[in-house]
């Protein structure tokens, strides 16, 4: 999302008949202090509340039945991606746009693919340094029918301290763990008897050692079994859980089952059911459904005007950067986390220029 700002900044100069300034006042005028900057920036940024409500996405219902992967490809080729739904405002927008009659005529259903999916094949090591692994080193020792994502919430792996098999489990369960110290390509493993969830175990290992243990071959796997027997312990294997196709942060949820995530298993793609107010349901990804794409919101322009006694040097890159950062912080505080701002230069290479139509010496600039 990009928002363009046209900012007209008036700078009133002191008249020659004004009383002489004290040394401190003169110094403050020549080199604006912190208070002057804050007042200036706050006055500008406080007018941005209307900007932060600009929709971040334009949604497009595509009334053609495709499986989730085909829908993703279509959206990426013709728009930006499959729809990301970030909050209840997005839900309300989609409900207004949905044409139930056209939905049913296209797919005999009232749901549509969105961009949420569970990446069941994204298993990776907590220790991510590629120099620690040989090329194409992909040793795995899963138990039979593992990983199965039972319950739809198994994104972390444990190793069995009796037979050495691996299983996927919820990352929230408490288990012992195995840390490692790394020196070049060599690893030394350490069993940790404290029972923690996977996130806590990872933090512990990174604080006291290098990371949770990576298992690169069967010899290392057997070494871990001897260390932890007969425990079932965390090691460094995990995967991504629910993700948006465009890699947006996944925080807002709108599942159809009250207070619960979906059923899981191989049903790893999500559709919004518009007979149920757009609530989310997980489905097999190869089922054909209509789908929703999104494109970027049209660029919005907002002109702001400020009159302020100031001697800020608006040609100084430090001043411009400071102003822009304060604008970003103000927008972020009003929910504009995805807003992108930058100054746009005038044809003369300057951001701000004198406005000859104003009686006082004023300046104007634009950021977008």
Residue 143 lies inside a defined structural domain of this protein: yes
Pairing mode, if any, of strands 166-169 and 186-196? unpaired
Of 52, 6, 7, nearest to 312 (Cα)?
7
Is 269 in the same domain as 180?
A: no
- CB contact set of 351 (below 8 Å; sequence gap of 6+): 314, 320, 343, 344, 345, 365, 366, 367
Mean pLDDT along residues 226-236:
96
Is 175 in the same domain as 226?
A: yes
Give the integer Cα–Cα distance in Å for 58 and 50.
Answer: 18
Q: pTM for this one?
A: 0.58
Is 39 in the same domain as 184?
A: no
CB atoms within 10 A of CB 298: 11
Of 324, 329, 368, 330, nearest to 47 (Cα)?
330
Give the integer Cα–Cα distance in Å for 174 and 335.
Answer: 35
**Which residue has better confidence, 361 or 43?**
361
**Which residue has better confidence, 74 or 32?**
74
* Helix, strand and coil percent figures for the chain, each rounded to 5: 25, 30, 45
pLDDT at 48: 39
pLDDT at 360: 52
Residue 90 lies inside a defined structural domain of this protein: yes
- CB contact set of 152 (below 8 Å; sequence gap of 6+): 118, 261, 262, 263, 264, 265, 267, 282
Residue 301 lies inside a defined structural domain of this protein: no
CATH number for position 110: 3.10.100.10
Mean pLDDT is lowest, of 172-176, 199-203, 213-217, 362-366, for 362-366
pLDDT at 19: 40
Residue where a domain stops, chosen among 296, 311, 328 = 296
pLDDT cut 70: percent of the chain above it: 65
Is 190 in the same domain as 202?
A: yes
pLDDT in tens, 39-84: 444 334 333 333 333 447 899 999 999 999 999 999 999 999 999 9
Is 257 in the same domain as 334?
A: no
Residue where a domain stops, chosen among 195, 211, 239 = 239
Give the integer Cα–Cα distance in Å for 46 and 243.
Answer: 34
Mean pLDDT along residues 140-167:
92
Instruction: Report how many domains make up the chain.
Output: 3
Residue where a domain stops, chosen among 212, 239, 266 = 239
pLDDT in tens, 201-225: 999 999 999 999 999 999 999 999 9
pLDDT at 53: 39
Mean pLDDT along residues 159-172:
96
pLDDT at 12: 35
Q: What is the DSSP letter of 257?
A: S
pLDDT at 275: 95
Asked if residues 14 and 311 have their Cβ atoms less than 8 Å apart, the reply is no
Is 80 in the same domain as 101?
A: yes
- Could you write out the DSSP letters of every residue in 178-227? EEEEEETTEEEEEEEEEEE-HHHHHHHHHHHSSEEPP--SHHHHHHHHHH
Judge whether residue 1 has pLDDT over 50.
no
Residue 132 lies inside a defined structural domain of this protein: no
pLDDT in tens, 287-332: 999 999 999 865 444 544 444 445 566 676 666 776 777 776 766 6
Give the integer Cα–Cα distance in Å for 322 and 307.
Answer: 19
Per DSSP, what are the bridge partners of residue 2?
Answer: 340
Range(s) of the domain holding residue 258: 57-119+243-296
Mean pLDDT is lowest, of 178-182, 229-233, 240-244, for 240-244
Average pLDDT, the chain: 78
Give the integer Cα–Cα distance in Å for 240 and 242.
Answer: 7
Per DSSP, what are the bridge partners of residue 296?
Answer: 57
Query: Which ranges of the chain would DSSP assign to H, the alpha helix?
Result: 23-30, 34-45, 68-78, 88-97, 100-107, 198-208, 218-228, 317-333
pLDDT at 46: 38
> Rounded to an integer, what is the distance from CA 265 to the centroid of its chain?
25
Element (H, E) at 116: strand 111-118
Is 162 in the same domain as 225?
A: yes
Of 206, 205, 207, 225, nearest to 215 (Cα)?
225
């Amino acid at each position: 999302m990009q928002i363009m700002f046209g900012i007209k900044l008036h700078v009133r100069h002191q008249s020659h008949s004004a009383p002489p300034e004290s040394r401190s006042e003169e110094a403050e005028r020549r080199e604006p202090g912190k208070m002057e900057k804050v007042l200036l920036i706050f006055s500008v940024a406080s007018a941005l509340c209307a900007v932060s409500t600009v929709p971040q996405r334009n949604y497009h219902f595509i009334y053609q039945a495709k499986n989730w992967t085909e829908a993703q490809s279509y959206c990426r080729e013709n728009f930006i991606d499959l729809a990301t739904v970030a909050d209840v405002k997005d839900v309300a927008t989609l409900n207004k746009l949905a044409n139930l009659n056209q939905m049913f005529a296209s797919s005999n259903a009232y749901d549509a693919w969105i961009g949420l999916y569970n990446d069941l094949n994204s298993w990776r090591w907590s220790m991510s340094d590629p120099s620690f692994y040989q090329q194409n080193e992909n040793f795995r020792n899963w138990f039979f029918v593992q990983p199965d994502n039972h319950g739809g919430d198994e994104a972390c792996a444990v190793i069995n301290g009796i037979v050495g098999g691996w299983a996927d489990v919820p990352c929230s369960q408490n288990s012992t763990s195995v840390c490692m110290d790394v020196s070049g390509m060599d690893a030394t493993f350490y069993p940790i008897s404290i029972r923690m969830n996977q996130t806590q175990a990872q933090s512990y290992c990174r604080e006291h050692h290098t990371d949770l243990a990576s298992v690169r071959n069967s010899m290392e796997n057997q070494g871990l079994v001897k260390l932890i027997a007969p425990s079932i312990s965390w090691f460094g294997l995990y995967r991504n859980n629910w993700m948006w196709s465009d890699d947006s942060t996944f925080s807002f949820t709108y599942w159809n089952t009250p207070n619960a995530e979906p059923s899981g298993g191989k049903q790893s793609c999500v559709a919004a059911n518009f007979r149920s107010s757009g609530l989310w349901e997980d489905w097999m990804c190869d089922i054909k459904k209509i789908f929703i794409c999104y494109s970027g919101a049209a660029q919005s322009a907002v002109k702001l005007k400020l009159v302020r006694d100031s001697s800020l040097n608006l040609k100084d890159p430090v001043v411009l950067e400071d102003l822009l950062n304060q604008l970003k912080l103000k927008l972020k505080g009003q929910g504009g986390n995805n807003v992108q701002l930058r100054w746009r230069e005038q044809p003369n290479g300057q951001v701000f220029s004198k406005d000859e139509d104003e009686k006082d010496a004023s300046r104007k600039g634009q950021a977008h």
